[in-house]
Chain A
Amino acid sequence: MTTSLFGERVQRLEDPRLLTGNGRYLDDLGRDALAAAFVRSPHAHARIREINVDRALDVPGIVAIYTWEDLPERIGEPLPLLIPHPALTHGRTARPLAKDVVRHVGEPVVMVVARDRYAAEDACDRIEVEYEPLPAVVGIENAVRGEHLVHPDVPGNVGAHLVQEVPSADGRSAAEMIEAAPHRLEFRLDIERSASMPLEGRGVYARWDPDDGSLRVYSSTQTSTSVRMAIAAKLGLPLPKVEVIAPDVGGGFGVKIMHPWPEEVLIPWAARTLGREIKWTEDRREHFISSAHERGQVQYVRVGFDDDGRILGLDVTFLHDHGAYTPYGIIVPIITSTQLLGPYKPGAYRVEFSSVYTNTVIVTPYRGAGRPQGVFCMERTMDRIAAYLGKDRTEVRAANFIQPDEFPYDHRLTFQDGRPLIYDSGNYPEALRMLKELIGWDEFAKERERAAAEGRRIGIGIGCYVEGTGVGPYEGGHVQVTSDGRVHVSTGLTSQGQGHQTAFAQIAATELGVPIERVSVVTGDTRRFGYAVGTFASRAAVMSGNAIALACRKVREKALRIAADALEADPGDLTITDGIVHVKGNPSASIPLSTVAVLANPLRYAFDEEAKRATQFATAASDDKPPVAEGEEPGLEGRDYYSPVRSTFAYGMHAAIVETDPETAEIKVLRYAVVHDCGRLINPMIVDGQIHGGVAQGIGGALYERMVYDEHGQLLNASFMDFLMPYATEVPRVETAHLETPSPLNPLGIKGAGEAGVIPVSAVIASAIEDAEGIPIMKMPISPSELFHLRRTASARVG
């Protein structure tokens, strides 16, 4: 049997370690390292008048205190703008420590290094910073009004402005199509900030080796390779002298793809400067006020449609709040503006956005990365059209679907990777059919009547999305079979709980025909693999999964070639089963992969019994050929890369049934159903887990989580006491069904799944509440008290 583990519910290889306390997260490392802590701005916008550190100097255990003035030029200059874009005409980034002006509460001002964190925080408490408060810009509309400026040289607080327009097939603009449409609607939608909020915050630990002149940095990051390049550039070190390792990471969800964070530059720099190991572990309040948020947008929609609900023209203008700086560019609003279209094909489309500065924490991708907002916009539009025409909401969606025979489907837009937005494959009508069956859509009317008879109010909602996954430019994989028969796989991208060690081992075991127990996988360690992009955009399985498969195929080919020589057989007649190369149909003519690995590496020295077989007097190598043939390399290993022409597009459809309390307006999700298509599944157990977790975050974003800033730019709920993340009691059971439409773009036929679960949830819950209440839901998240007020306003209007 060829051990095909691809597609099996294999238990995770990570778990034995993580279940016994043997995980190694950032703060578990460097027990003897010095600790860093930061004095952060208590003001949203202020001029720094003076910093007095005198009273901190005699705190026992203090080692060093740094302000901006203490930093060398290259360290003190503004951090890089990672993803420049022509539309980002006024990009601004922060310095690692503030110089002169702070622009959000939480911006780092002073770094303290001390014996331990207690001492470092004691010192921080005693540092006096005198600020001259400046007017704070808070809220998207205040930003656009431009009365006060976040950056004096950014007029109107507008960092970026972008328009994309796709005319109809006969060349008419969206505006013309809307004007000419039989029906038109116009409305505004609002969506608020939330955040990734991994349970492990960020953290950096740096070790400088003075003898070797090298630096080893551990960071709780989603991209160790790029952090490495940033550190080498900032510190002026040769790249080979810097290694960056992402250890076990306690969740990322996007916030840890941002880099280099100020601390990722300052901690390594201080470690080198002081010649000491230094560690900084973010605490929860720091995470709230100094790491990234996402989601905040205001959207204005104009839509024209026909009697069937088919969209003839769609015009969306939205404002995106990107916070105080733009280190990650405008990826989030670009994704909103393009992925908004979902599984639909409007006759003509125009989208325009302005991305604006506010005196709040920066905005960088959080799981879904702009898609939840786009889907909220499109799905609310679908529901408005259905309500206007008195049609079933699923019928209106079906009327707008791209059909299975229309793939590849070109939206004629530019996607976040700078490439054309072309969907590769999918079957949207089938997914809708499955979803309706799973949730019982057609029977719901009766269910509602029954509930109403009991005095209960229930509603059903739906949301569809398409997600561009597996964005390039590339990932790589390296596979080595050692003479003990073990298979060592490495890839440069990182892991934050996605089960990569398992999924990638399944791929390698399947490709090579070895038992999975013999496969070990290393991710996010630049010592093992230096070229990578990172783990974001639901790309890890697609990118590294395919790269590892390709690398395995190289290894397999080489193994068969060597084994064919040894067995005097044709490579085409050989296969590998359970780690043994043998002639197909004749298991006795065989050679273990471990031996092939020995033969692949001609040796002079016999350091053990196994090695003896590969030495110069043991092999029967011919005298007139070099021991390593031309074009060959020693060892049984292979390296390959996967670089796609463009993204592959996964999709899904969700439905929920909610109950709203007629008295208290409490909102309860009774059922939640997901139909999901991410192509071929590597490990269905892991994919389901990703979906469950995504939906839970979506429920948080729809009903509980928001960043509450006051008009002065103070974040009022910067703790888990006040920022309401769902517990088990708030999350419904998720019922899932899968379609598997393979991607034609990659060898394994897979699409990404990491972000999927979260994307449509706000749209789905809004749809369901609206259905239960008969009141338009135009703002998310929604709390019971907001629903209560909506009811009052609605009844006052009727009355």
Chain B
Amino acid sequence: MAEGARHAKGSTGVGTETLYDISLTVNGVVREARVPARRLLSDCLRHDLGLTGTHVGCEHGVCGCCTVLLDGEPVRSCLTFAVSVDGHEITTIEGLAAPDGTLSAVQRAFAESHALQCGFCTPGFLCTVTALLNENPAPSDEEILEGISGNLCRCTGYQNIIKAVRRAAELSAEQERDGTGEAAPAATGAAGAPRASGATGGATGE
């Protein structure tokens, strides 16, 4: 879309960029922004929408700090253009806890297990692990390792993150068993709902 209209080119080859109106559902709330085509989703979330919980560690898709859930699936928001997710659902770290502030099982498990130090990579891990456990509520150690192997952490040595994923699976199972489940759905709900209404036509593989 919009080829040839991206730049109103001036004599020096630069000019005012065409801006696009986009509408995203972020953490269950419809948000609107006016962005140039090159605006990264990470920048849109952080700077246009003020959701600074999503962090940017490398801007080339390797570190995983900027991972958010796009229609429930983890994506690198630094490799995603904001205009390309117009109409979609995004979950960020700010949307993982229940509306009343109760931490999700994953968030609680990270605190209990001391799975964060500086906290910079944490938003990416939380989103990644939330998606992982939605897909596979009882992952094996091998599957946990695989599941988090796309996120860098420079502080923890990962040992306690692995522990936290196991613990989060336990906590979720307990909630499931007790029928309380008020914290977990913040993750599953946010991730699950868009799958039904998402624009990808339900091609989620589930």
Contact surface of A with B, Cβ cutoff 8 Å: 11-12, 14-16, 18-25, 27-28, 31, 55, 58-60, 116, 118, 122, 126, 197-200, 248-251, 253, 283-284, 496-499, 685-686, 688-690, 692-697, 719-721, 725, 727-729, 731, 733-734, 757
Q: Is the CB of B60 within 8 A of A198?
A: no
Contacts of B63 in A (CB 8 A): 199, 720
Q: Is the CB of B120 within 8 A of A251?
A: yes
Report if B69 contacts A (CB, 8 A).
no
Interface residues in B92-125 (C-beta closer than 8 Å to A): 92-94, 96-97, 103, 107, 110-112, 114, 116-123
Contacts of A729 in B (CB 8 A): 145, 149
Most chain B CB within 10 A, of A496, A728, A729, is at: A728
Contacts of A496 in B (CB 8 A): 118
* Contact residue among B57, B92, B103 (Cβ-Cβ distance under 8 Å from A200): B57
Q: Is the CB of A731 within 8 A of B15?
A: no
A-B contact pairs, 6 of them (CB 8 A): A14-B119, A28-B52, A199-B120, A688-B114, A725-B152, A725-B154
From known contacts A16-B111, A20-B94, infer whether A283 and B59 are also in contact, taking CB-CB under 8 Å: yes
Q: Known contacts A15-B116, A688-B114; can you find 10 more A-B pairs with CB under 8 A?
A: A21-B94, A118-B36, A200-B55, A250-B119, A251-B154, A284-B59, A499-B117, A689-B117, A690-B117, A728-B151
Interface residues in B52-99 (C-beta closer than 8 Å to A): 52-60, 62-63, 65, 92-94, 96-97
Chain B 119-138 near chain A by CB (<8 Å), digits 1 or 0:
11111001000000000000
List 7 tightest A-B contacts by C-beta distance, closest first.
A21-B53, A497-B118, A250-B120, A18-B119, A696-B157, A692-B157, A497-B117
* Distance between Cα atoms of A727 and B159 in the complex (Å): 11
Q: Is the CB of A728 within 8 A of B161?
A: yes
Partner-contacting stretch, out of B43-51, B172-180, B187-195, B197-205: B43-51
**In the assembled complex, how far is the CB of residue A255 from the closest CB belonging to chain B, in whole angstroms?**
11
Q: Is the CB of B159 within 8 A of A720?
A: no
Contacts of B148 in A (CB 8 A): 727-728
Report if B12 contacts A (CB, 8 A).
yes
Report if B16 contacts A (CB, 8 A).
yes
Q: Is the CB of B156 within 8 A of A19?
A: no
From known contacts A11-B111, A696-B157, infer whether A199 and B121 are also in contact, taking CB-CB under 8 Å: yes
From known contacts A16-B111, A199-B153, A200-B118, infer whether A60 and B16 are also in contact, taking CB-CB under 8 Å: yes
- The number of residue pairs between A and B whose CB atoms lie closer than 8 Å in the complex comes to 177
Q: Is the CB of B56 within 8 A of A27?
A: yes
Most chain A CB within 10 A, of B116, B123, B149, is at: B116
Contacts of A59 in B (CB 8 A): 14
Q: Is the CB of B116 within 8 A of A58?
A: no
Most chain B CB within 10 A, of A23, A25, A721, A731, is at: A23
Q: Is the CB of B149 within 8 A of A728?
A: yes
Contacts of A58 in B (CB 8 A): 10, 12, 14
Q: Is the CB of B46 within 8 A of A731?
A: no
Contacts of A695 in B (CB 8 A): 157
* Distance between Cα atoms of A59 and B13 in the complex (Å): 9
From known contacts A60-B15, A198-B120, A693-B117, infer whether A21 and B59 are also in contact, taking CB-CB under 8 Å: no
Q: Is the CB of A685 within 8 A of B52?
A: no
Contacts of A734 in B (CB 8 A): 157, 159
User: Chain A residue with minimal CB distance to B150?
Assistant: A727
Most chain B CB within 10 A, of A21, A250, A695, is at: A21
Q: Is the CB of A22 within 8 A of B53?
A: yes
Contacts of A721 in B (CB 8 A): 60, 62
Q: Is the CB of A685 within 8 A of B114?
A: yes
Q: Is the CB of A250 within 8 A of B159?
A: no
From known contacts A27-B46, A693-B117, infer whether A60 and B103 are also in contact, taking CB-CB under 8 Å: no
Chain B 152-171 near chain A by CB (<8 Å), digits 1 or 0:
11111111111000000000
* Distance between Cα atoms of A207 and B68 in the complex (Å): 31
Q: Is the CB of B159 within 8 A of A692?
A: yes
Q: Is the CB of A728 within 8 A of B162?
A: yes
Contacts of A126 in B (CB 8 A): 12, 14
* Contact residue among B62, B150, B155 (Cβ-Cβ distance under 8 Å from A719): B62
* Contact residue among A18, A28, A720 (Cβ-Cβ distance under 8 Å from B58): A720
Q: Is the CB of B159 within 8 A of A733?
A: yes
* Distance between Cα atoms of A340 and B50 in the complex (Å): 49
Report if B38 contacts A (CB, 8 A).
yes
**In the assembled complex, how far is the CB of residue A496 from the closest CB belonging to chain B, in whole angstroms?**
6
* Distance between Cα atoms of A58 and B14 in the complex (Å): 8
Q: Is the CB of B46 within 8 A of A19?
A: no
Q: Is the CB of A19 within 8 A of B116?
A: yes
Contacts of A731 in B (CB 8 A): 157-159
Q: Is the CB of A21 within 8 A of B118?
A: no
